[in-house]
């Protein structure tokens, strides 16, 4: 069963673009994944610390607290430090990619370069490697 590795996952998606958020939720839900969403960085931090998801998909340009600050706080908190975080953003400059990696992002995806289906595959492969 190829989808089995995703079925027990709990994902947090921090994305302020409602249409994109709904697309990702629909794609992951088809795989049987529980998806929690937050439309801003403050809500994302709160949910991450309360729910301790298996993985976080984090946009960078989001309201209240930007994704880099969210990433930095999650990676410095002992309770959330080990949660894999994939930055999912439209910022594709080398300096942004490097900053994300330096702050502890496990991967960096440019939204316009990847379909939601490709993101699902990336998350699956991330957990199949473990």
Residue 116: CATH number of its domain: 3.40.50.2300
| CA dist., res. 62 & res. 48, Å (int) | 16
In this prediction, the residues of the chain whose per-residue pLDDT falls under 70 are 1-5, 129-130
Contact yes or no for 105/87 (Cβ under 8 A): yes
Number of folded domains that form the chain: 1
Q: Within the chain, where are the H helices?
A: 4-7, 18-30, 41-51, 67-76, 94-102, 116-128
pLDDT of residue 59: 96
Overall size of the chain counted in residues: 130
Q: Name residues whose C-beta falls within 8 Å of residue 105's C-beta, 6 or more positions apart in sequence.
A: 58, 71, 85, 86, 87
pLDDT of residue 126: 78
pLDDT of residue 15: 96
Domain that holds residue 68: 4-128
pLDDT of residue 129: 66
pLDDT of residue 123: 87
pLDDT of residue 102: 95
pLDDT of residue 127: 77
| CA dist., res. 31 & res. 76, Å (int) | 31
pLDDT of residue 91: 85
The pTM (predicted TM-score) of the whole model is 0.92
Q: Which of 35, 37, 30 is nearest to 3 (CA)?
A: 30
Residue 52 has what DSSP assignment? -
């Amino acid at each position: 069963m190829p989808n089995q590795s995703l079925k027990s996952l709990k994902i947090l998606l921090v994305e302020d673009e409602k249409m994109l958020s709904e697309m990702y939720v629909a794609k992951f839900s088809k795989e049987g994944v529980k998806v929690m969403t937050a439309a801003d960085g403050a809500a994302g931090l709160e949910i991450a610390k309360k729910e301790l998801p298996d993985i976080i998909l984090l946009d960078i340009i989001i309201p209240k607290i930007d994704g880099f600050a969210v990433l930095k706080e999650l990676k410095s908190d002992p309770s959330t430090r080990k949660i894999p975080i994939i930055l999912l953003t439209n910022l594709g400059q080398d300096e942004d990619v490097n900053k994300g990696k330096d702050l502890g992002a496990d991967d960096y995806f440019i939204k316009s370069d990847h379909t939601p289906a490709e993101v699902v595959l990336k998350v699956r492969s991330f957990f199949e490697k473990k």
